[in-house]
Structure 1
């Protein structure tokens, strides 16, 4: 502890060291007390209870391991850096990080942030395992009989008792408010809140799931530790709860209805309205409510333009000096920008208005840091002569989406001049040369850089959007008769240009399958990865129809399709758009890959899937357009 005390007064240290030193005593005490609680509970004479405690120990052990590992690493860093001379502390910091954190990007502030997030998760876990403060058939007032804040019920609804030190939660007829005393902050949600909206899961659990599974892919809000104190309006809180509920795999029509109602009308002067609508857009798209998603996205873009979120000064002028909020506003604009472009490409629209604006805010910064770098400085990094500047992974995601925007301006009917197509093709190739490789998406410890993963599948989508329509691949889903004929003869590709585009489209599709094969959990990726997987599968299926006569080629296409269908099937457990896509693509795959002439049991008549008739002769890329999505293709 003396080491951390010394760090608070040492000169020449980054501010992050002082912040870590301030938090460390609380962290150490919390870990110690948590261990003591588990040990005390384990001494119970109740056998069933002991079994539950053993299960609890097993469930929370990874949390303790992560926290204690990070504490140990921080200790090693502080031991080397704090006693050093002021002038050499930065150099000592670089050296010790290279030794104790080989191959990892974590800094002291990131190690502490992970500890605090894990402890928050531990607290949430323990909160949900507590016995109810009253049985369902008990009633009456809750009376405070000791020191500390009171829990006062002032209307209909459920009373929440304060089960830990630090405050209370009061329930009011017109809404709900987490009221705390001391140095903590007050979080008020306006509008009505009824706990019957979501009887199967608590808000806090859904918020925790939102941050652990969704936030990193779309980081428009402040970090987890600041969420409660920031005081987001009800529509933001409801959409966060709703997204978290998808990961809890519980549903509530009342919650869904309340969320929908909270978006109409909406305050068109607030950045939080853009955040709410943008998050709602993403989850609606994932739930295959495409027209609603497009409506919300259009409203979000309109409000963002109206309040000037694209202005470089907007974030600093409206965040009240809070750097975390400033950064969240910048991230919100860029998430809106990339989402707007991606959805336009999927639905075969022209470039959206957010892609055409000339003024843009500063780029998102590295983890835990604000950014003062512009889009122009990032684009011009390729000409820099000095040391390579490190940019956040989000910057590469933004660049990939802007390349997609350039594709949207090209005429898809082959009348675009070849030099324009080549220029975009070269931009895609340059992105791969100047950006981090796909292998860096996952480090040696299995930690995923979700933004970089998104950047890679976006650039692969860009390649498919550019090359597929110009390739020799059949633009439409062939009929069963066409597939039967193709098995008998090879398909000749007469145009060298078409062969070039074909090879590049297939290569991008294969790389999409490689992304799906990376050793990382699929659940933490953006729901938009579903569309990348569908695009990749579509290209492989189209290519397979050209190679039905070639068993080795056909087997390769089959392997890629099977992998991507498996990934889609996993994502389909949560997202409707993936579940519907699997049903569609499996029917097509069966007709392409199952040859009735070589079936294992020829005595059984081969039956073409009934769903296949819904897809035959539809443009492969039109599967994403709202007209087809709302029609027979997806609904069977």
Structure 2
């Protein structure tokens, strides 16, 4: 080796975080430069050098063992629910993972293992000190590298509801001495959702493990809010709506109790880490968004978070969150007054999704009150102006839901789908897109207006409904395959498809009818893609198919008695009239081939890529 490039020996004074990640450490006290820059907790292991010799260490260990044998035994590691005093210290030591047994490891073994220039700077004194008793020792590190289920979650679900830590930061915090044990419920739900997408045979075991993690975790931990929020999603879309609501109610209750909706919460609970602070902000707003989605999907779930005066700041852009470079946060007040800003104020897609749900909440209030056609001007003057204001103030870059590289902005996709579903829900009751009684079969449909008197604004309502439907169709036709989005768009698609079916029956003729039938085909195909993962969407798809057969005159029509009897309580079966709600979920979805019925809807398929010229 040349003199210009002398060999640099690895320092034995490296801090524990740098050692765990095999990073170069300058050894500065009390905090090394790397930890100070990244905002991580910097800790050093006590050195054994200059301490007791082997004989003294052995004598002290004998005394400690005698004292321990006379005291009550410790049955487990409280922070990790381990079954013995054995701990893994691979996040602390610089070597490959090592298991240290406090009962059997001798002082000589510790000294021999630490022999040489690259010795571990850790000893019995550190392991057995009163401040690090077996019950208080750091929890075992969480091995998440190369986890196929975790990879599936981040590649196929995280972008839909991005509140948990980015993958890189999750790996970083899995070695944090104060946080890694608290991550157990979040990691459990991540792996369970990953198992859904990979169709893992271990799904039931993963669900049981998640339940154990939720039971053992500290009940007021903000990580529990993340875990229960995310857990409610697969529960609902796998058909267990009661349990999904329980998880959601618990998440909201904990978030309110710990003040997660307040601005100070993220800073007070973020350990000085900007990414973790951003994750807390995102958790509250994701809770708000999903709560709104449930309210819009079920039509019966109360939108509890809607009336909470949140002061928490808005989430940053997704690219900033993933990179870890978090800019100063923007406020909800700034978003609400963005039309008065002279300079360009670039809010994130997440912020516009929040704004979309807030607008949809007003639409939901109007629809659930069952306004009649005579109340049409009220909608135009109040709720509709808010929705139109949102759409008009949407920046051009946010309207471009797909990038030049073909990546979809999932949050803007949800925002625009939701706002258009709200427009349809607002205007269709007062339009010429009349309701067919068979629509009551759909769990996503709204009740028809009780008053059918004419309105001078009927054409406005009809045009706005059709425009919103076409906007949804353009999103569904984005050239990205496979079609994979959050299951919450199921009812958004269904609402637009029901309106399009009404247009086929009451408005369209000739070429317009053919184009609309092609759009219905595409919407059903999109529902099918989601239904391949989520059984509840598969049920909703069967509902839409049965309605379509009846409205378009394909096959036997449902009798009024059949519609009244089943209504929204059950889902229709294409072959036998109705689904048997007592059958297991697997029986309802096995052998399900939506395309068999889809081919009956329109034998002459037209390519969507030709629709642009047709619409002109």
For Structure 1 versus Structure 2, the TM-score category normalised by the shorter chain is: 0.5 to 0.7
Partner Cα distance (1:623, 1:475) in 2: 18
Q: Does 1:399 align with 2:365?
A: no
Residues 419 and 227 (structure 1), Cα distance of their counterparts in 2 relative to 1, 3 Å cut: same
Partner Cα distance (1:262, 1:613) in 2: 48
Shift of 1:421: 4.6
Partner Cα distance (2:290, 2:387) in 1: 19
Q: Does 1:235 align with 2:185?
A: yes
Residues 246 and 320 (structure 1), Cα distance of their counterparts in 2 relative to 1, 3 Å cut: same
Q: Could you say which residue in structure 2 is the equivalent of 1:168? A: 97
Residues 583 and 260 (structure 1), Cα distance of their counterparts in 2 relative to 1, 3 Å cut: farther
TM-score in terms of structure 2 length: 0.62
Residues 202 and 406 (structure 1), Cα distance of their counterparts in 2 relative to 1, 3 Å cut: same
Partner Cα distance (1:465, 1:260) in 2: 38
Deviations 1:63-107 (A, max 9, x none): xxxxxxxxxxxxxxxxxxxxxxxxxxxxxxxxxxxxxxxxxxxxx
The root-mean-square deviation of aligned C-alpha atoms, in Å, is: 4.1
Partner Cα distance (1:461, 1:616) in 2: 26
- Return the index of the structure with the highest Cα Rg: 2
Residues 170 and 542 (structure 1), Cα distance of their counterparts in 2 relative to 1, 3 Å cut: farther
Shift of 1:357: 1.4
After superposition, residues 107-146 of structure 1 pair within 5 angstroms as none
Shift of 1:277: 0.7
Partner Cα distance (2:141, 2:579) in 1: 36
Q: Does 1:430 align with 2:395?
A: no
Residues 263 and 630 (structure 1), Cα distance of their counterparts in 2 relative to 1, 3 Å cut: farther
Q: Could you say which residue in structure 1 is the equivalent of 2:269? A: 318
- Give the structure with the higher percent helix: 1
Partner Cα distance (2:232, 2:310) in 1: 24
After superposition, residues 43-192 of structure 1 pair within 5 angstroms as 167-168=96-97, 188=140
Q: Is the 8 A contact 2:315 2:351 kept in 1?
A: yes
Residues 524 and 223 (structure 1), Cα distance of their counterparts in 2 relative to 1, 3 Å cut: farther
Q: Could you say which residue in structure 1 is the equivalent of 2:530? A: 571
Partner Cα distance (2:561, 2:152) in 1: 40
Deviations 1:439-471 (A, max 9, x none): 511111112211121211121122123223343
Shift of 1:216: 1.6
Partner Cα distance (1:352, 1:495) in 2: 31
Q: 1:221 aligns with which of 164, 176, 179?
A: 164
Q: Could you say which residue in structure 1 is the equivalent of 2:547? A: 588
Residues 586 and 400 (structure 1), Cα distance of their counterparts in 2 relative to 1, 3 Å cut: same
SS, match of residue 233 in structure 1: helix
- 5+ residue gaps, structure 1, are 1-22, 27-152, 173-180, 194-200, 481-491, 596-605
TM-score in terms of structure 1 length: 0.60
After superposition, residues 540-559 of structure 1 pair within 5 angstroms as 540-547=500-507, 550-559=509-518
SS, match of residue 263 in structure 2: coil
Q: Could you say which residue in structure 1 is the equivalent of 2:344? A: 388
Partner Cα distance (1:630, 1:470) in 2: 35
Partner Cα distance (2:563, 2:237) in 1: 21
Deviations 1:181-210 (A, max 9, x none): 999xx87479xx9xxxxxxx9981111111
Residues 166 and 365 (structure 1), Cα distance of their counterparts in 2 relative to 1, 3 Å cut: farther
Residues 266 and 632 (structure 1), Cα distance of their counterparts in 2 relative to 1, 3 Å cut: same
Q: Is the 8 A contact 2:281 2:315 kept in 1?
A: yes
Q: Is the 8 A contact 1:364 1:371 kept in 2?
A: no
Partner Cα distance (2:302, 2:382) in 1: 17
Shift of 1:263: 3.7
